Amino acid sequence: MLGNFEDVQKMSKTNIEATTKAFSTLSKTTQEIVAEMAGYSKRSFENSTKAMENMFGAKSLDKAIEVQSEYAKSSYEDFTAQVTKLGELYAGLTKEALKPFEAQITKASPAK
């Protein structure tokens, strides 16, 4: 009976350590994601403000359309790059947050 208690105690300690590591990873990566989104928001606002200034300064309709087209293109490219980067951060978060639990999952899985 004492052996079972020690096994449970050891497993509990392992689970607590794995959870602590997972939360540490979660916290760090969440901070990266928040910083990335704040940077994107700031960049997006600055680019839209600059585009509006250029549109108001346009001397002709053709120039205004050109400015709008350039802004739309650069906004789309920036957005797709941002989505890709966020996808990578979330994928890395999942991988790193689950890494501490791999040993327990492997142990608990029935052999095939």
- pLDDT at site 19: 85
Residue 34 lies in a domain: yes
**Alpha-carbon gap, residue 82 to 65, rounded angstroms:** 25
Residue 110 lies in a domain: no
Q: Which parts of the chain sit beneath pLDDT 50?
A: none
Q: Which domain holds residue 74?
A: 2-102
Q: What is the model's pTM?
A: 0.71
- pLDDT at site 10: 79
- Provide the number of structural domains found in the chain: 1
Residue found under tokens 């928001």: 41
Residue 87 lies in a domain: yes
The continuous run of DSSP H or E covering 43 comes out as: helix 2-56
Residue 37 lies in a domain: yes
Task: Tell me, rounded to whole angstroms, the distance of Cα 48 from its chain centroid.
Answer: 24
Cβ–Cβ < 8 Å for 78, 47: yes
Residue found under tokens 């906004």: 75
